[in-house]
Structure 1
Amino acid sequence: MKYKKLLELYIPLVDFIADIIGSNCEVLLHDIVDVENSVIAIRNGYISGRSLGCPLTDLGFKLLENKTYLRHSAFVNYRSRNDRGENLISSTYYIKDGAGSLIGMLCVNILNTVDQQGHKFLSEEPLKAFFSNAVQLNGNEEITESLSTSLDHVVDNGIQKLIAKYNIAVDRMSPEEKSVIVQELRENGIFKIKGAITKAAAILKTSESTIYRYLAMK
């Protein structure tokens, strides 16, 4: 496919950025056409535990759903967290084809612990120019991405984060509260993942037909 050849041109950048920032920096190239096997290049994958063939993240699905890439070239300096609970500073560059369609994402995740040089690097003028027309968040923003290694984790994390906002047990939630969660999951793109409706029904302790009914609501 032509888009794959275009994406392959960005593979050298994965090594280039990782070599500049160092071992506390994970760099990935995502193919967003094949979301289930999205990672096609990676350096320092030990940071998130991911490897070639891992899926798109929860944030990745949300960006696809809300089409932020139509208005901006990148999403920079937001907070993320790996499965070990370590905090990171992350940035995503949108890769588009000649027609302006999104085909991939170049992602940089820097451990926000001992070495802060990576975050400083992202704030310097050369990379700001590369990330022109970017949406930038400050360091006080809430965690916006979970760096998961499987689609099951992506779905589970996406649902659990929304449930946590209510601070009550699922079996005590009203149908209205569950409906709001399902609507937010749709807005976050979670239902693009095969099996997400079954998973959501199990976690929310309801039926799949009820999930479909919630999705039919406007």
Structure 2
Amino acid sequence: MDYKEVLNLYIPLVDFIADIIGPHCEVVLHDIIDVENSVIAIRNGYISGRYIGCPLTDLGFKLLQQKTFLNQNALVNYRSRTASGENLISSTYKIKDAKGELIGMLCVNILNSPDDLINKIPTEFPLTAMLGNVVRMDDTEEVKESLSTSLDSVVDDAIKSIITKYKISAERMSSEEKSAIVQELREDGIFKIKGAIAKVAATLRTSESTIYRYLAMKTN
């Protein structure tokens, strides 16, 4: 069976899960082979602003790069964030082929606060029925995934999340710090995205050749 045929078997689950949990829950089916047009089915996409044809997320690239799917079937109840800043509680089920290779992901993203419900849910849905079911998570929890609508945004979000840890501007960073950032981005699979090297070089205020040099250092 072709991998796309396997993924198509999961499409009915997108509606099934969304109907059970409600309009405050976004359900997404990802094809991780076609990373540029990864979203092949989605319900309640108004939550993240995504639609069919949107790319794989930063977490998706990280899972591909680090091969964590080899000993995990799912990642559950982690914090994610939309491009407009809403916090969600997310879970990802990893879809594998007969050889155990990762081919897709079934993702469930639930709004994390009553305020987000009020701002996001269409007016035809009764909010009072949902407010008691909101899943809450400590705001200090690390955001593990950004729900982006373009590959440019995936790269930008990944760079930003790492650079903010250093609490200094790129102009003041040492070459060792910049190299460490590049290595972390590599481990997150960001350099699988076309144009990522140019974006990272511009953000770190350095040349593309320097980024290539940092990447080569890891393999020497």
Q: Could you tell me the TM-score, scaled by structure 1's length?
A: 0.89
Q: Closer, same or farther in 2 for the Cα pair 1:139/1:157, shift >3 Å?
A: closer
Structure 1 unaligned segments of length 5 or more: list them: 121-136
SS at match of 2:109: strand
% identical aligned pairs: 72
For residue 150 of structure 2, what is the aligned residue in structure 1? Answer: 150
2:41 is the alignment partner of 1:25? no
Q: Is the 8 A contact 1:32 1:105 kept in 2?
A: yes
Over 3 Å counting, the alpha-carbon distance change for 1:138 and 1:92 in structure 2 is farther
- Aligned residue pairs: how many? 202
Q: Once the 2 structures are TM-superposed, how far is the Cα of residue 141 of structure 1 from its aligned partner?
A: 2.9
| Other structure's SS at 1:166 match | coil
Alignment partner, residue 164 of structure 2: 164
Counterpart residue type for residue 133 of structure 2: Q
Partner in structure 2 of residue 74 of structure 1: 74
In structure 1, C-alpha distance between the alignment counterparts of 2:142 and 2:217, rounded to whole Å: 29
Asked if 1 retains the 8 angstrom alpha-carbon contact of 2:92 and 2:106, the reply is yes
Whichever residue aligns with residue 65 of structure 1, its letter is Q
Q: Secondary structure at the match of 2:17?
A: helix
Q: CA deviation at 1:117?
A: 2.0
2:133 aligned to which of 117, 123, 133: 117
Contact 1:25 1:118 in 2 (8 A): no
- Which structure 2 residues correspond to residues 195-206 of structure 1 after superposition, within 5 A? 195-206=195-206
Gaps of 5+ in 2: 115-130
Is the contact between residue 113 and residue 135 of structure 2 (CA under 8 Å) also seen in structure 1? no
Say which SS state the counterpart of residue 4 (structure 2) adopts: helix
Which residue number in structure 2 is paired with residue 39 of structure 1? 39
Quote the RMSD (CA, aligned, Å).
Answer: 1.6
Whole-Å separation in 1 of the counterparts to 2:6 and 2:53: 18
Name the SS of the counterpart of 1:29 in structure 2.
Answer: strand
**Structure 2 residue aligned with 1:173:** 173
For 2:110 and 2:149, how far apart are their aligned partners in 1? 17
Structure 1 outlier segments of 4+, above 6 Å: none
Tell which deviates more after alignment, 69-78 or 111-120.
111-120
In 2, distance between residues paired with 1:92 and 1:116? 23
Q: For residue 84 of structure 2, what is the aligned residue in structure 1? A: 84
Residue 9 of structure 1 pairs with residue 25 of structure 2: no
The CA deviation at 1:68 is 1.1
1:57 aligned partner: 57
Task: Give the Cα–Cα distance (whole angstroms) in 1 for the partners of residues 62 and 84 of structure 2.
Answer: 22
Q: Aligned equivalents of 2:101 and 2:138: distance in 1?
A: 28
- Alpha carbons 1:58, 1:146 under 8 Å: kept: yes
